[in-house]
Structure 1
Amino acid sequence: MDRDPTPSIDLRWHHSLRTRMALWSGLLNAVLVLATTLAFYLGARMLVVHNARVEAQALTRQGALNLEAILDSVQVSGRTLAAGATGVGAQPLHLRSLLLASLAGDPDIAGAMIIVEPGRLAPDDPGFTWYIRRDGERLVERSVQDLGYDYRAMPWYVRTLQSTGAWWSEPYANAATAGADFTTYNLPLRLHGDGALAPALGMVSLDVPVARLLDGLLQSTPDEAGLQPMLFSPGGLAVLHPDPELRMRQRLEVLVENGRADLVPLAQAQARGETVEFEHEDPASGESFLTQAAPVGDSGWTFATSASESFILRQLREVAQWVALIGLLALLPALVLVRRYTGRLLQPIEDLTESARHFASGEFDYPLPHIGRRDEVGVMARAFNTARGSIKRQLREIEAMAGARQKLESELGIAREIQQSMLPHARMIEHGGMRMDLCAVLEPAKAVGGDFYQFSELDGGALWFSIGDVSDKGVPAALFMARTATVLEGQARRLGSPGAILAAASGRLVEGNETCMFATVLCGRLEIDSGRCLLASAGHDAPVLVHADGRIETLALEAGPPLGFEVFDGFVVRESWLPEGATLVAWTDGITEAFDADDTGYGDERLHRALVPGEAADQTCRRLLQDVQHFVAGAAQSDDITVLAIRRTRSVPDAVTADAITAEAAALATGG
């Protein structure tokens, strides 16, 4: 029979190997270009940043030196004026000449003042208070007392008299300065030979325009350097700052407190009069800066320069972008050539792809070309040929394994039914006017599990029960569970005390237990008439009593070792009572250790809240199981779950039961 022609592969150009090879080749070359550009950029960046750091250091140092020269000149003039004022005597003419000489000798000084307290230079000395300032090309002179305030009460005068040395004032502006910003160099006057702690005779001060300081700074900081100069007064006032809103308005410490924590090193260096260099980022703009700061001599002034990283690296980034762009454009011709010549190389691969397409549809006998080639294509073709034979064999094996798995699942289902049939069903036991309502529920984590429970009526109106949890899960746990349950039931028929039952079972279960499996067991004996209950535990959780009034009582037990580890005959028996209307509830740790999707355990507290007094035993079991399932909310069950409930109530007289049945039958007959 003729074979239908196989349609050719509908392969779009952007899905073909030749296109992908061309693209990957281009991508690899692009990565190499970008990596080279990145390496160039990083190396150049280190060099540029280093040079910028060195240049910033030099400009900062030069600016501080320029300011220091201006301030030192004023300080020398101030010391000269102070020395002359105490050396020429109390003649006003001489003191005025000193003031004029100070102004004439230093063009940076805009005003000069001498205050000599009366009677300090000579007993009959009336004192001297004179102030001279520049006003354009002329000088304005007046007594300090004519300035409109009591100089003795001014803070600058009080501070100067109390100082041991000279100091620079914070920038200020007033009517005397014609509204311009000035700073003043203040010195206390003392006689020659007096120490720094001797009382001052008065003071001298020299006024310097702040504009003069700024002119000296701006001349030393070229605009093309990209640096932002900053000048801070001895009190930290921003005299010069890139932000016009901060100039002469904001102090450095306040700026730090208001969100500029990145300037803490600058504030600390300014306060200590130290040099500092640090990198920081403006929290508001996110821009990075390199800042240098240097003290201006011992004046308390601080000069700083700050350069933004974007300015330093701007030209470097432009060069790197052009290098990357030219390199990427050069890749376009290479992509065309690569795609052209990869077509010839990949034609055999496309032939094998056609054969693989038929293999995928189940046509394992479709012709396979290029088997005889001695290159990689031939190796691939021979591998295909071997693979299709192996696939045929594996399909047969998979079919056989599917049948075996189905048989195993069927056997596990039968094993589950057998295991469930070993467990007793819920029942009512009556004796001596009292009734025992017994129920238990077991939910294995797998098809079969290791949890178990037992209860049966003994001679003399007694009830024996147990609940246990075998280590591990699945078939091994189920087998050990069956053995444990059989041994316990046999010992319960022979022995009366729960402690003796566990002791005898421990000896039996140790025998032949090479796998070292073990089981925790709670064993009990309950007298139906009196409610007397004897309990013993082999490593199992203590049960609780749910009293009729809603009180939850935990029956704490002195637990012995789990069964299967070692022979042990010292299980302690606890005697308690199951009152009328109360329910005894026991469980395995699959309940308290049930976990939700957040890996939170169910726990004892939730268990106690789920127990409701006055419910039948089956209702108690169902409610607790439903609460656990609601808590885990679909999370995978990690362990077997078992709960056992025993409720003790008074029996209903037969006459009452018969009357109720008769009334119900009559109602049904009449359609009630």
Structure 2
Amino acid sequence: MDRDPPRSPRLRWHRSLRTRMALWSGLLNAVLVLATTLAFYLGARMLVVHNARVEAQALTRQGALNLEAILDSVQVSGRTLAAGATGVGAQPLHLRSLLLASLAGDPDIAGAMIIVEPGRLAPDDPGFTWYIRRDGQRLVERSVQDLGYDYRAMPWYVRTIEAPRPWWSEPYANAATAGADFTTYNLPLRLPGDGALVPALGMVSLDVPVSRLLEGLLQGVPAEAGLQPMLFSPGGLAVVHPDAGLRMRQRLPVLVEHGGRADLAPLAQAHASGQAVEFEHHDPASGESFLTQAAPVGDSGWTFATSASESFILRQLREVAQWVALIGLLALLPALVLVRRYTGRLLQPIEDLTDSARHFANGEFDYPLPHIGRRDEVGVMARAYNSARGSIQRQLREIEAMAGARQKLESELGIAREIQESMLPHPRVVEHAGMAVDLCAVLEPAKAVGGDFYQFAELDDGAVWFAIGDVSDKGVPAALFMARTATVLEGQARRHASPAAILAAASGRLVEGNETCMFATVLCGRLEVATGRCLLASAGHDPPALVHADGRVETLALEAGPPLGFEVFDRYVVREAWLPADATLVAWTDGITEAFDADDAGYGDTRLRQALRPGEGADATCRRLLRDVQHFVAGAAQSDDITVLAIRRTHAVAAATTVDDAVAVATGG
């Protein structure tokens, strides 16, 4: 009897590559689900906390505004009553009418009082003391003297008389208020025109039930918001507080210093300074974390705050995150079965594409790419590889072309910089009538070309004309506008003797065709070599500095007009100054003062003045200032063009010696 050949033993399921890949995939997916849940939780937590902070801030502000509206209404009524009391004279009937009008005009006011000391409004004035308060639907009136005490000895009266401005009292309750908590707005009475230091002739007070404040508070903070409202009086008394044992009993400074609530110190500081505050803190007793917002209620001294616990804010989020994690882990079970089934079918095409991608990475872009005709994801990936291969080849050709274009552009920018530098004058010495002026400037553009410029030239009448300017923006557009500005200024300098006239004429020319709205700040001057008389005018430029022979540095303040290019302006102001012998006039652009180091600290005017030295030639002054700026920035990127112009006036012999020394150093002699 024939027997079937023995079968090869089947590969156990737990050893198959498909199972291993399914298990690893399941493990990675589980980690991914947990990581996604964690990321979702962290991101949602940030969003929830942010929204809670924003909502708490809005509700706190709204609650403070509601309270402020009540207090402001009372304060306006108080100021109106005080103004009326000093304006109508001492007639009791009129003063009583003012009290009744205040009560009728503001339902928040429960009582009003006027005290006018005898003989203050008129020599024979007997004074006036009257108090009216609400008692249900009727009004109760009486003289203040009938209340059973001498008002002159009461602390509230003494404080009000001596106070420079009105104030809110601490909440109180007595027989006159029927045991209800009240707060009072007290105003000193002074005649119109009297200052705060003039003794008051009496006072006005308005009583407000604390319950009215609480009504405004509840309107601003709905109960479903989950916020715990707090209200503190001007003296820090906890009028509203989530801890019932502290209400109307404990003051905020005492609670912070002696009540074990040091975590509320920011709230106490904000209340004392009348500032808003937002902070997170932990209750030492419960260990609960809170987010607290506080806002001052106008200038009344009251402070309203809300506090929300972290557990309340994040309670629903934690429940959602737990359900997301549980559902994600349960969804992995069918995913494991599907992954095991299709892993073998998908593995080979992916390996083929991986092999082709490896050759592409080595630069072999002509290597065969299989599976392009497939209609599934593998085909999409293969076609994407093929498209990327063609795109990379095109980009390589474009990069090669761009490198050539960049090289050409750099060459053209180099030529443009040389042309720009050729437009600027070289250092020179101008002599006249035994005196000499040494002129020199340096310019360091932030880019290949820049927008800073300087000009100086000798005039026929023994004077020199000079200018330094800074064009808005940098680069090629600024360089073009700089060339136009320098050309226009030089042309106008040959037509006008006054720097103000030069700037005014240039202002009209540079506005024409300036569609890009570029502009230039310019300092323009004229210096008479023989006398040292210097005329200066500024079109929005920084004032220059005058370095005297004794080392004193003087800033020549100028009345600056608008920069050139914005609008036509013909009223530039000339400043007359004198440049003594052996003194140096130094001007610069804001690339000097606004040079920043690696820590983003600016060079500033103080360092500039300290870097200036007397007795140096114009070239040495420019180079010293430039070196000092470069040393300060310590290699940080240059953010703006840097230009320095120096003009030194000396006797002709000294100037010639300085020039000879400079030539000797340059030639090595």
TM-score, structure 1 length as denominator? 0.51
Q: Is the 8 A contact 2:488 2:506 kept in 1?
A: yes
Change (3 A) 1:257 1:659: closer
Residue identity matched to 2:409: L
Change (3 A) 1:378 1:255: closer
Residue identity matched to 1:25: N
Distance in 2 of aligned mates of 1:657 and 1:349: 80
SS of 1:366's partner is coil
Q: Is the 8 A contact 1:18 1:346 kept in 2?
A: no
Deviation for aligned residue 1:391? 2.2
Distance in 2 of aligned mates of 1:658 and 1:30: 79
Deviation for aligned residue 1:603? 1.8
Q: Is the 8 A contact 2:23 2:336 kept in 1?
A: no
Distance in 1 of aligned mates of 2:457 and 2:416: 23
Deviation for aligned residue 1:428? 2.1
User: 1:614 maps to which residue?
Assistant: 615
Deviation for aligned residue 1:460? 2.5
Name which of structure 1's ranges 506-515 and 336-345 shifts more when overlaid on structure 2.
Answer: 336-345
1:99-498, aligned counterparts within 5 Å?
260-261=260-261, 342-498=343-499
Q: Does 1:27 align with 2:31?
A: yes
Distance in 2 of aligned mates of 1:442 and 1:543: 16
Deviation for aligned residue 1:384? 1.6
Distance in 1 of aligned mates of 2:340 and 2:649: 87
Q: Is the 8 A contact 1:544 1:553 kept in 2?
A: yes
Distance in 1 of aligned mates of 2:486 and 2:656: 39
User: 1:633 maps to which residue?
Assistant: 634
Distance in 2 of aligned mates of 1:460 and 1:330: 95
1:51-130, aligned counterparts within 5 Å?
none
Change (3 A) 1:497 1:18: farther
CA offset digits 1:353-409 (Å, max 9, x no partner): 110111111211111111121111011112222222232222222211111111111
Question: How many corresponding residue pairs?
Answer: 391
Deviation for aligned residue 1:583? 0.5
CA offset digits 1:527-575 (Å, max 9, x no partner): 1111111111111111110101111111111212211122222121121
Distance in 2 of aligned mates of 1:489 and 1:604: 29
Residue identity matched to 2:31: L
Structure 1 residues not aligned, in runs of 5+: 1-12, 39-253, 265-279, 289-320
Distance in 1 of aligned mates of 2:508 and 2:610: 38
Distance in 1 of aligned mates of 2:283 and 2:594: 52
Distance in 2 of aligned mates of 1:551 and 1:522: 22
Residue identity matched to 1:583: T
CA offset digits 1:572-601 (Å, max 9, x no partner): 112111001110000111111222333332
Deviation for aligned residue 1:456? 1.2
Distance in 2 of aligned mates of 1:424 and 1:24: 72
User: 2:503 maps to which residue?
Assistant: 502
Distance in 1 of aligned mates of 2:376 and 2:661: 94
Deviation for aligned residue 1:17? 8.9
Q: Is the 8 A contact 1:22 1:339 kept in 2?
A: no
Distance in 2 of aligned mates of 1:533 and 1:367: 81
Deviation for aligned residue 1:466? 0.4
Q: Is the 8 A contact 1:25 1:335 kept in 2?
A: no
Distance in 2 of aligned mates of 1:426 and 1:482: 19
Deviation for aligned residue 1:414? 0.8
SS of 1:455's partner is strand
User: 1:47 maps to which residue?
Assistant: none
Change (3 A) 1:366 1:329: same
Residue identity matched to 1:511: E
Deviation for aligned residue 1:454? 0.7
User: 1:176 maps to which residue?
Assistant: none
Change (3 A) 1:330 1:403: closer
Distance in 2 of aligned mates of 1:561 and 1:262: 56
Q: Is the 8 A contact 1:580 1:650 kept in 2?
A: yes
Change (3 A) 1:565 1:647: same
User: 2:167 maps to which residue?
Assistant: none
SS of 2:549's partner is coil
Distance in 1 of aligned mates of 2:467 and 2:255: 76
User: 2:526 maps to which residue?
Assistant: 525
Residue identity matched to 2:581: E
Distance in 2 of aligned mates of 1:37 and 1:584: 66
Distance in 1 of aligned mates of 2:656 and 2:401: 65
SS of 1:494's partner is coil
Q: Does 1:591 align with 2:595?
A: no
Distance in 2 of aligned mates of 1:450 and 1:557: 23
Q: Is the 8 A contact 2:429 2:655 kept in 1?
A: no
Name which of structure 1's ranges 551-560 and 328-337 shifts more when overlaid on structure 2.
Answer: 328-337
Q: Is the 8 A contact 1:21 1:339 kept in 2?
A: no
Distance in 2 of aligned mates of 1:657 and 1:257: 73
Q: Does 1:651 align with 2:655?
A: no
Q: Is the 8 A contact 1:26 1:335 kept in 2?
A: no
User: 2:571 maps to which residue?
Assistant: 570
Distance in 1 of aligned mates of 2:414 and 2:347: 55
Residue identity matched to 1:26: A
User: 1:551 maps to which residue?
Assistant: 552
Q: Alpha carbon RMSD of aligned pairs, Å?
A: 4.5
Deviation for aligned residue 1:341? 5.8
Distance in 2 of aligned mates of 1:441 and 1:497: 25
Deviation for aligned residue 1:605? 1.6
CA offset digits 1:617-653 (Å, max 9, x no partner): 1121122112222222333222111110111111228
Change (3 A) 1:365 1:553: same
Residue identity matched to 2:29: S
SS of 2:458's partner is strand
CA offset digits 1:47-79 (Å, max 9, x no partner): xxxxxxxxxxxxxxxxxxxxxxxxxxxxxxxxx
Residue identity matched to 2:619: D
Change (3 A) 1:656 1:413: closer
Residue identity matched to 1:375: D
Name which of structure 1's ranges 254-263 and 634-643 shifts more when overlaid on structure 2.
Answer: 254-263
Name which of structure 1's ranges 27-36 and 431-440 shifts more when overlaid on structure 2.
Answer: 27-36
SS of 2:350's partner is helix
Residue identity matched to 1:404: A
Q: Is the 8 A contact 1:449 1:478 kept in 2?
A: yes
Deviation for aligned residue 1:614? 1.4
SS of 1:652's partner is helix
Change (3 A) 1:361 1:471: same
User: 2:101 maps to which residue?
Assistant: none
SS of 2:615's partner is coil
Change (3 A) 1:412 1:377: same
CA offset digits 1:500-546 (Å, max 9, x no partner): 11121112111111111111111111111111111111111111101
Q: Is the 8 A contact 1:262 1:281 kept in 2?
A: no
Distance in 1 of aligned mates of 2:41 and 2:473: 60
Change (3 A) 1:349 1:440: same
Q: Is the 8 A contact 1:21 1:342 kept in 2?
A: no
Deviation for aligned residue 1:336? 11
Distance in 2 of aligned mates of 1:566 and 1:346: 72
TM-score, structure 2 length as denominator? 0.51
Q: Is the 8 A contact 1:260 1:282 kept in 2?
A: no
Deviation for aligned residue 1:345? 2.5
SS of 2:631's partner is helix
